[in-house]
Amino acid sequence: MPETTVTEQTTFGQRLRAATDRFGPLCAGIDPHRALVESWGLTYDVDGLTRFTETCVEAFAGHVGVVKPQSAFFEVFGSRGIAVLERAIVALRDAGTLVILDAKRGDIGSTMSAYAEAFLGKDAVAPADALTASPYLGFESLRPALDLAAQTGRGVFVLALTSNPEGRTVQHATLRDTSVAESIVAGAAAENAAARTHGDLGSVGLVVGATVGSAVQELGLDLAGCNGPLLAPGVGAQGGTSEDLRRVFGDALPNVLPSSSREVLSAGPDVVQLREQAVRTSEHHAGLLR
C-alpha cells in the first residue's frame, strides 16, 4: 500500500499538535475485545471484527484527531485480523486522522530493527503515525525505532508509568538514586531537545497512566520538560477522571492525550452516536487541558 500522509516537511510532533488544535486532544481507542464486540450485537469472529472496525473508522475518520487501535485484538484472529487492522490504518490516515498503533514492541538489535521497519518504515504495508514501545530492555534498546521514526516523520510512545500495580516493581526501582521511570523520561527529553529549540512538540512521547496517583510527584518526574506528547490511558470507564489528569500531569497538561476506548465505544454500534460521543469527549478534555 502506498505512503499516505507523512511528508518530509513535518514531524509527528508538529502534525500531532495541529491535529489536537483542530479536533481536540482525545485519542480514541479501537479495542475490539470479545465483550465489546458482542455488546454491539456482533459475532466474535473476523466478520464481527471487520464490521466493528469499519464502524469505528467511519465514525472517527476526519472527525477525531488521533485514534489508537490495540494491535492484540486484531492479532488474535491471525493474518485475517491483521488485514482488518491494516485497512483501518490506511483509511484513517487517508482521512487525515493520526494513528497510534498500540503494539508495545520492545527487543534488541536486528529484532527491534525489524519491528521498526514493520510499523514505521517507508516500505511498511500500513505504517502508523506512531508506535507504542516498551523500554524495559533499556531505553537504548529502542534506538532502531527512535532513529527510523525520526527519519520517516513518525513518533514513538515509550512506556514510562503504567497503572497496573506490578508496574511499580520495575518502574519505581532505583539505581544510583535514579528511578527507572526517571531514566525513561530523561531519555525521551534528550530525543526531543532539538524540537524544543524550534518551539515544536517533540515526536518521542511517554505513556503515563491517568490513574498512577502521586507517582509522578513521588519520583520527581519532569513531564513538562520532556517536551513530548503524553499518552494517558485509563480515562473514563477505567476510572481516570479530570481530577486525576490535573493531579498526575500538572503543568504538562497541554501535552496530554487522554485515551479513552470503552467510554466512547459504548455509544456504538450506531455511527452517528459513536461520532457524537467521541466529539463530546474530546471537547470535554479540550476544556480541561486549556
Q: Which residues are catalytic?
A: 104
CA 125 to chain centre: 19
Rg (CA), the chain: 18
Please state, in angstroms and as integers, the Cα–Cα distance from residue 265 to each residue in 46, 66, 110, 151, 197, following that order: 18, 15, 37, 34, 39
Cα separation, 5 vs 154, in Å, equals 11
Packing angle of the helix pair 143-152, 109-120 (nearest 10 deg): 30
